[in-house]
Amino acid sequence: MSSLDFSLDETQQALADAVAACCHAHEVDAVARSETGSFPGSLWRALGELGVLGIAAPGAEGGADELIAAFEALGRAGCPGPLVGAVCAVRLLPEPERDHVARGACVPAVGQPPLFPWAPAADVFIEVSSGRAWRGEVQGAVESVATLGGEPWGRVDWARGESLGSAEDALLWSDLARGAWLVGAADRLLDEAAEHARTREQFGRPIGDFQAVAHPLADSWISLTAARALVRAAAEPVARARGDAGADVGAARLSAERAALRASRVAHQTLGALGITVEGPLFHISRRVRQLALAPPGTAGHAREAVLRSLTLTGGTHA
């Protein structure tokens, strides 16, 4: 009996390598550790030039598999920015704004008013609510809001404008990107924790020899492996615009969020106090894992609803 193969092909791996190289060249680790809350403009434009921000755009050369390959690499690098929002925006906006976002010339803020991610740096604002989307205008100044992930969010006075129609398709693509980013980040966190467990000694032995350290790491790796398979498998129904894609993507997103949050917790437990220092190898990634698991566009609620509907259950009955 043959097993399913969800590994990246040569083209997808080359894309992932190019994204990783771009992140390294722009010193993403230093950007992600920054406490200034500023927008990484040069990195954003570089990702646009590489084609990463426009992979999900209708008619683009890439597709769902390429999106996953790129976003896993972005997650492993801990890359900041409204990446998931950009995926949503290029599925919703008409030309020429779509192209501006794809090229990195325009920064989108996608969420629900009055609080928008990356609002202080945004050029275009999109409200997504109850499966619909609207363009809108900010009235007055943006009030900056500090966030767990160190990202510049903002509170705004909001005037809803032109309808952009259904957001369901855009949410499928953005949830796929979110799941891939979280899988990549979880992979990095577990690698860092495993390396620490191999090299840190206690009582004359590597701490990884102790079951209390090794077993949680192994459990987290199993959870991550399952989440990666679900995310990569969800690419097919999204690419084909299958009517049941919502359930597959919902399961992938929820699994990725759970695996990444678990990896974050276990990695911090493995490294101890070193794991929660700004200078350490984890915190700049784990704090964004927690932020992205909660951030718009869309909430985990619509992912759960999609999974429950596929099981002929309802979210209201099975909260």
Could you tell me whether strands 108-111 and 124-129 are parallel, antiparallel, or unpaired per DSSP bridges?
parallel
Provide the token pair at 274: 């070193």
Q: Would 42 be classed as within a structural domain?
A: yes
CA atoms within 13 A on the CB side of 286: 24
- The C-alpha angle 132, 177, 217, rounded to 5 degrees, equals 130
C-alpha 200/C-alpha 40 separation (Å) is 34
Tell whether 187 and 285 lie within a shared domain: yes
CA atoms within 13 A on the CB side of 295: 31
CATH number of 174's domain: 1.20.140.10
DSSP letter, residue 59: T
Q: Would 318 be classed as within a structural domain?
A: no
Look at residue 5 in the predicted model and tell me its pLDDT: 73
Task: Give me the tens of pLDDT residue by residue for the chain, a chain 319 residues long.
Answer: 446 678 899 999 999 999 999 999 999 998 888 876 678 999 999 999 999 999 999 988 889 999 999 999 999 999 999 999 999 999 999 999 999 999 999 999 999 999 999 999 999 999 999 899 999 999 999 999 988 888 889 999 999 999 999 999 999 999 999 999 999 999 999 999 999 999 998 899 999 999 999 999 999 999 999 999 999 999 999 999 888 899 999 999 999 999 999 999 999 999 987 777 777 889 999 999 999 887 877 767 778 888 888 887 765 443 3
Tell whether 131 and 38 lie within a shared domain: yes
Tell whether 121 and 19 lie within a shared domain: yes
C-alpha 132/C-alpha 126 separation (Å) is 10
Query: What single letter denotes the amino acid at residue 5?
Result: D
> What is the three-class DSSP state of 111?
strand
What domain range is 109 assigned to? 10-166
Look at residue 3 in the predicted model and tell me its pLDDT: 60
C-alpha 197/C-alpha 271 separation (Å) is 8
Look at residue 2 in the predicted model and tell me its pLDDT: 47
Q: Would 283 be classed as within a structural domain?
A: yes
Tell whether 29 and 134 lie within a shared domain: yes
Tell whether 135 and 41 lie within a shared domain: yes
**Total domain count, the chain:** 2
Q: Would 315 be classed as within a structural domain?
A: no
Look at residue 116 in the predicted model and tell me its pLDDT: 95
Distance linking the first and last C-alpha atoms of the chain: 38
Tell whether 97 and 208 lie within a shared domain: no
Look at residue 151 in the predicted model and tell me its pLDDT: 87
Alpha helical stretches, state H, the chain: 10-25, 28-33, 41-50, 64-77, 83-92, 97-102, 168-199, 211-233, 235-239, 245-271, 283-294, 300-310
Look at residue 149 in the predicted model and tell me its pLDDT: 85
* Whole-Å CA distances, 31 to 35, 44, 156, 267: 9, 12, 26, 21
Where is the domain boundary, 143, 166, 189? Answer: 166
Q: Would 241 be classed as within a structural domain?
A: yes
pTM (predicted TM-score): 0.93
Tell whether 98 and 199 lie within a shared domain: no
Q: Would 316 be classed as within a structural domain?
A: no
C-alpha 195/C-alpha 280 separation (Å) is 13
DSSP letter, residue 26: T
Query: What single letter denotes the amino acid at residue 48?
Result: G
Reported as type and span, the H/E element at residue 128 is strand 124-129
Of 132, 133, 153, 157, give the one whose Cα is nearest residue 144.
Answer: 153
Where is the domain boundary, 115, 146, 166? Answer: 166
Tell whether 36 and 95 lie within a shared domain: yes
Burial class (CB in 10 A: 0-12, 13-18, 19+), 257: buried
Tell whether 30 and 99 lie within a shared domain: yes
Could you tell me whether strands 132-145 and 124-129 are parallel, antiparallel, or unpaired per DSSP bridges?
antiparallel
CATH number of 62's domain: 1.10.540.10
Where is the domain boundary, 139, 166, 193? Answer: 166
Q: Would 303 be classed as within a structural domain?
A: yes
Tell whether 196 and 232 lie within a shared domain: yes
Query: What single letter denotes the amino acid at residue 233?
Result: A
Q: Are 181 and 84 in contact (CB under 8 A)?
A: yes
Q: Would 66 be classed as within a structural domain?
A: yes
Strand order in the sheet with 108-111: 108-111, 124-129, 132-145, 153-166, 115-116
Tell whether 44 and 137 lie within a shared domain: yes
Tell whether 155 and 72 lie within a shared domain: yes
